[in-house]
Structure 1
């Protein structure tokens, strides 16, 4: 007969499983193996019977039996007929290193050993608690409820077949001939108006690595790289890291302006499809003028197509690269925005000599993009799931954009904004005077998260009116209206009155 103390010991070792987490078998097997490898279940320890295990952990008897069968098959547990289950004697617990440094040991002078000091990098990261905030009006995340998990799982299983696994490793082969690059060339890039060959496409670990590679290849002391103001902070950091001058350039309702400062640039980073952070789409006339300017001043353009093909009517303007006859545009994009930020698959399209140099730089960092993810994503595109997901994303984003704008007209009638035609953000210009940092923290305290507009500015005086960016790609549809209502209350309660200064 089991004692209450006996049950308590096992409940501490094997906490009750969570039914909305990993599969129950996996949770229990992991708990057992962890306890064995950490030495908390020594060799020879008798384990509870399958019936007792089911009672202790709240799983079915069949699940408990399957757990023991799996542990026996993997060599962690011995099954002794008519005697029970025991921890296998062949398992060696992991030993923790406990070496203490000698009293006279001195650490290296790291500051002297590292490269010259660089200016502190400022990131526009969201707080780590963003998942706990009830109303996250943020950009860059996806709604997991909209993700076609069964189709992705099907493609993932196919990528795990023996023949597919053999294609995971590509070192020594022509990495440009990958299955995913083939699908990008056939199915994704043509919808942006881009024709490319295999030697003109490089897969990256997302746009962040694309920024870094482009900066390492082109940015150097003395070069001038123009960026949009307000604009995306991460590529600015990458370009400035090795000493290039980053020059802010103004943006209006047609996108990047053809200003006198533009002529000073050797390179230009821009987001024509949906300008970050204002969401403005660069007009066709402005695009042609920008390309003509680049030709006249011998400039190279970095086109960041951050959120491709999410125009709600499905008729987005062609990419800047698609109308560039002189090959002055280097195009970068990602699959992560539509699929998942955690997937980490981006790509660069450029002339073949540029791609070859970028590939050599990338080879100094990693051998290749993980092959299993490549094949899964390629199959996902090839079998039509990507197109279907893209259509659903357009429909869902349009509904959410309508919900956001309707709620804003009620909650903040004096604020200004343009109705989004695509993408997942809205740029909101507030009425009155506001301390955006104080407003941001007040919103977080109330459970409303947004991006303050000055986080995108090199010059704090860029914003003529206090502005914020609202992302609506990941927040649930039913939370938009109450979230905007609460946001309106926060903004109205923190507005500065003339002559009143808040600390």
Structure 2
């Protein structure tokens, strides 16, 4: 690959002859990693014209770099970065530049420092990754996704690939969601009531921005999806966490001045509980009395392999006060970042306008590829395959947990891909997680799912979506061993 001539420039404050400046510029590029081995440099004629220097100056600089093994010449083909380029610089480093800006004053609003925890980027290198929400390459249908992506690149779909939809979405994807996906949840919606988002998190952000102000109040589950709490905190609205009971979000505990209620009734995050039908009707009644909006995050409903999922809260909504959030991130793969919002037209109109002002629309090629994958039946086949595999892994993990006498705090009645666990009161699961990483085991500490300063420290999550069934027992045994070790240390300390 040839290096573009535009990446080369002479610094106006540089010292030394033009020849030495060009040498230093290229050597720095190689030593910093910007110029890779075997990459072709611009010809001496092109670089000289670009830099505004004589060709002989560039030629001499190249010759010196060739002699020092930074470059190699390949006949009439030109100059390339050498495979044997030396590592230590042959010149003094340039002056270090520091910011003159006081960023503590310049930043008007902070978005870092929330509760959302980052998963280890090298999670796949661990033998026992009990990490939630990651795609298992052994289950994903690579071949058909690739075929759908190629189909979406064809001349027939040139418009979908290249058009700026502005505030609109791929009509084929919208049609499939409206005619096939939503009816499975008991939801009837017209295309103008559906908006494609960059995943469920983007859908929650759009919803928060449209519905909430600094004077309004949001009620959310406690514990809950930590990214939602971060989003609400950043919006500067008033936030009231409502502690869950055995049936999920208790309607009577919701403050009467709440304007928006966030809930995950079908598969609560992180406890995996399912809200009973009677509680769902009570929640709708309570919201109507308060004239509040409900935001239903219906994540992971596709993973209901034990029995059919309960109807979505949106399907029971008779007066349009429920906004529905769906996503393909769990059923396809997290990196896809495709989700959708379903709601009344006035709300979707505002969410659409906000999305257009921030990112216009999710990439058309991705939307069309997903539309093909869904409409050709590949998604349903993938769900069936994933369901069978997760069912097996769940049973293996359930047996392993019982065998090692660990305590389950919550397990989905319909399926899912994780167990919500409780360690003894004297265990801090952050310490537990650190000890387990040294033993090739990854778990998710649970403190960040809770609101407030007094977060419980002894909860954790064990997911089985990314670990083969054959490794589950050994991994769970290591978790139990470390819990016992920490318990003994606490008792004897």
> TM-score interval w.r.t. the shorter chain?
0.7 to 0.9
1: distance between equivalents of 2:131 and 2:385? 20
| 1:228 maps to which of 221, 227, 239 | 221
SS state of the match for residue 206, structure 2?
helix
Q: Which residue number in structure 1 is paired with residue 312 of structure 2?
A: 319
Q: Given the alignment of the two structures, is residue 425 of structure 1 paired with residue 418 of structure 2, yes or no?
A: yes
1: distance between equivalents of 2:170 and 2:406? 54
Q: Given the alignment of the two structures, is residue 487 of structure 1 paired with residue 479 of structure 2, yes or no?
A: yes
Residue 384 (structure 1) shift: 0.6
Q: Please, what is the CA RMSD of the aligned residues? A: 3.1
SS state of the match for residue 145, structure 1?
coil
Distance 1:232 1:430, change over 3 A: same
**Is this contact kept in 2: 1:436–1:466, CA < 8 A?**
yes
2: distance between equivalents of 1:250 and 1:39? 62
2: distance between equivalents of 1:495 and 1:172? 58
SS state of the match for residue 247, structure 1?
strand
- Residues 302-317 of structure 1 correspond to what in structure 2 (within 5 A)? 302-317=295-310
Residue 415 (structure 1) shift: 5.6
Aligned residue pairs, count: 423
**Is this contact kept in 1: 2:166–2:361, CA < 8 A?**
no
Q: Which residue number in structure 2 is paired with residue 22 of structure 1?
A: none
1: distance between equivalents of 2:373 and 2:132? 24
**Is this contact kept in 2: 1:180–1:378, CA < 8 A?**
yes
Residue 201 (structure 1) shift: 0.7
Gaps of 5+ in 1: 1-32, 44-84
Q: Which residue number in structure 2 is paired with residue 209 of structure 1?
A: 202
1: distance between equivalents of 2:37 and 2:455? 57
Distance 1:391 1:89, change over 3 A: same
| 1:264 maps to which of 253, 257, 264 | 257
| 1:251 maps to which of 241, 244, 247 | 244
| 1:329 maps to which of 317, 322, 329 | 322
| 1:178 maps to which of 164, 171, 178 | 171
TM-score normalised per structure 1: 0.77
Q: Which residue number in structure 2 is paired with residue 39 of structure 1?
A: 41
2: distance between equivalents of 1:150 and 1:129? 25
SS state of the match for residue 241, structure 1?
helix
1: distance between equivalents of 2:163 and 2:309? 35
Gaps of 5+ in 2: 1-34, 46-73, 83-91
Residue 131 (structure 1) shift: 2.5
SS state of the match for residue 398, structure 2?
helix
2: distance between equivalents of 1:114 and 1:162? 46
Distance 1:41 1:411, change over 3 A: farther
2: distance between equivalents of 1:100 and 1:361? 44
| 2:462 maps to which of 466, 470, 476 | 470
Distance 1:413 1:208, change over 3 A: closer
Q: Which residue number in structure 2 is paired with residue 196 of structure 1?
A: 189
2: distance between equivalents of 1:417 and 1:314? 17
